[in-house]
């Protein structure tokens, strides 16, 4: 295989998102705007009920179906306890590695990138995806290590916006932020203890990354050291902080409406 062919093949597979579970796969099959690469089924599945409906949709849409033993399927789904004998590879143009996306840009798009540091609650992650997708922010940056996986619970909490959201992924957040900084992005963390208000902040770079931290511990110390600014959302009536998904929504919509300086 030539280098060009290898890179083309790699770029294709980098954009695949594998989902699992009978209901999530059936719901995705019912959406004509979602492009499928392959459908994977356990050979032990009984072809009735929801499996029958999944196969009908796959035949109608001309989607390739591959059968596997349970062990092989678990390697594809990476969740043998919850895959229910069903997985699917989706082709999402808005889901790709951060590094590949950066290579496609002559300059970073102006606007906000929301980055997540160790968000482990699937409900929170799904709601964050939905808010970022709706806000007009440039993208959501997800590290593969430390954050909740893109599971059926995340899909449900996102109300299907996971398939439409512009999601960039990296292996570790620190490396992803360093790459964005090298390309000219400013980096901010959100903290209830910060003195500077989000609403008084004027970005110094056209593209600004806003980092949201773990539900319990906030942004990790090594990530904070990479940041240019620490920002807070002003609280009233003795309220100390907001749920991280609510915070993400406020930031995404506020940053999208505020022209960069």
- Angle between helix axes 49-61 and 22-29 (nearest 10 degrees) is 30
Q: What is the DSSP string of 23-35?
A: HHHHHHHT-TTSE
35: how many CB neighbours lie within 10 A of its CB?
16
User: CA–CA separation, 221 vs 161, rounded Å?
Assistant: 31
pLDDT at 142: 97
Q: By three-state DSSP, how is residue 155 classified?
A: helix
- Which residue stretches of the chain have pLDDT < 70? 1, 3-6, 258-261
**Length, in residues, of the chain:** 261
Give the pair of three-digit tokens for residue 143: 């590290």
Please give the model's pTM, rounded to 2 decimal places: 0.90
Give the pair of three-digit tokens for residue 38: 């392959």
Radius of gyration, CA atoms only, the chain: 20
- Counting Cα atoms < 13 Å in the Cβ hemisphere of 153 gives 10
For residue range 131-179, list pLDDT tens digits in order.
999 998 999 999 999 999 999 999 999 999 999 999 999 999 999 999 9
248, 130 Cβ separation under 8 angstroms:
no
Q: Which residues pair with 91 in a beta bridge?
A: 16, 35
pLDDT at 261: 46
pLDDT at 167: 97
21, 86 Cβ separation under 8 angstroms:
yes
User: CA–CA separation, 31 vs 52, rounded Å?
Assistant: 17
pLDDT at 257: 74
Contacts (Cβ under 8 Å, ≥6 apart) of 12: none
pLDDT at 4: 66
Q: By three-state DSSP, how is residue 191 classified?
A: coil
């Amino acid at each position: 295989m030539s280098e060009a062919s290898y890179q083309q093949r790699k770029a294709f597979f980098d954009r695949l998102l594998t989902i699992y579970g009978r209901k999530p796969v059936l719901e995705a099959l019912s959406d004509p705007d979602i492009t499928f690469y392959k459908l994977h089924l356990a050979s032990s599945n009984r072809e009735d009920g929801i499996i029958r409906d999944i196969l009908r949709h796959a035949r109608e849409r001309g989607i390739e179906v591959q059968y596997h033993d349970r062990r092989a399927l678990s390697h594809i789904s990476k969740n043998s306890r919850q895959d229910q004998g069903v997985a699917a590879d989706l082709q999402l143009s808005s889901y790709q590695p951060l590094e590949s996306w950066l290579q496609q840009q002559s300059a970073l798009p102006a606007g906000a990138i929301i980055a997540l540091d160790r968000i482990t609650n699937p409900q929170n992650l799904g709601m964050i995806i939905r808010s970022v997708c709706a806000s007009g922010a440039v993208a959501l940056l997800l590290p593969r290590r430390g954050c909740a996986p893109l599971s059926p619970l995340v899909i449900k909490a996102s109300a299907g916006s996971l398939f439409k959201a512009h999601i960039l992924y990296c292996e570790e957040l620190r490396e992803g932020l360093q790459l964005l900084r090298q390309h000219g992005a400013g980096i901010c963390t959100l903290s209830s203890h910060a003195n500077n208000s989000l609403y008084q902040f004027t970005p110094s770079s056209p593209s600004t990354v806003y980092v949201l931290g773990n539900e319990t511990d906030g942004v990790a110390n090594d990530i904070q050291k990479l940041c240019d600014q620490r920002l807070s959302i002003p609280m009233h009536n003795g309220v100390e902080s907001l749920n991280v998904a609510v915070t993400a929504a406020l930031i995404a919509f506020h940053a999208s409406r505020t022209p960069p300086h």
